[in-house]
Amino acid sequence: MRIPSGHLDYSRWIVNDGGPHPQKPVDPPVRAVADVGLYDGSRELVEVHVVATAKGIVCVQQDVGGRGWFAWAPAKRVRRR
């Protein structure tokens, strides 16, 4: 798929599974590896930082070209580095 000029390519970004409440920040963030789905339909192991937790789900920060993308992923698919 060709991405039009001036538009971001989200295909390799982690799919966001929502934003639960209540949530608890993780400070400092914890390095982890997430086995997650990406917007291009693939599933991959991605280096992330866990930045928040909630019941059964964690918020991870993925580095995408020097900027941070935040996505919620099932806790069972994320393991500490």
3-class SS of residue 77: helix
DSSP 14: B
3-class SS of residue 73: strand
Matching CATH number, 24-80, of 3.30.70, 3.30.450, 2.30.30, 3.40.50: 2.30.30
pLDDT by residue, tens only, the chain of 81 residues: 565 566 678 888 999 987 888 999 999 999 999 999 999 999 999 999 999 999 999 999 999 988 899 999 999 999 999
Q: Degrees (nearest 5) of the Cα angle 4, 8, 15?
A: 125
Q: Which pLDDT score, from 0 to 100, does residue 8 have?
A: 73
The pTM of this model reads: 0.87
Domain boundaries, the chain: 24-80
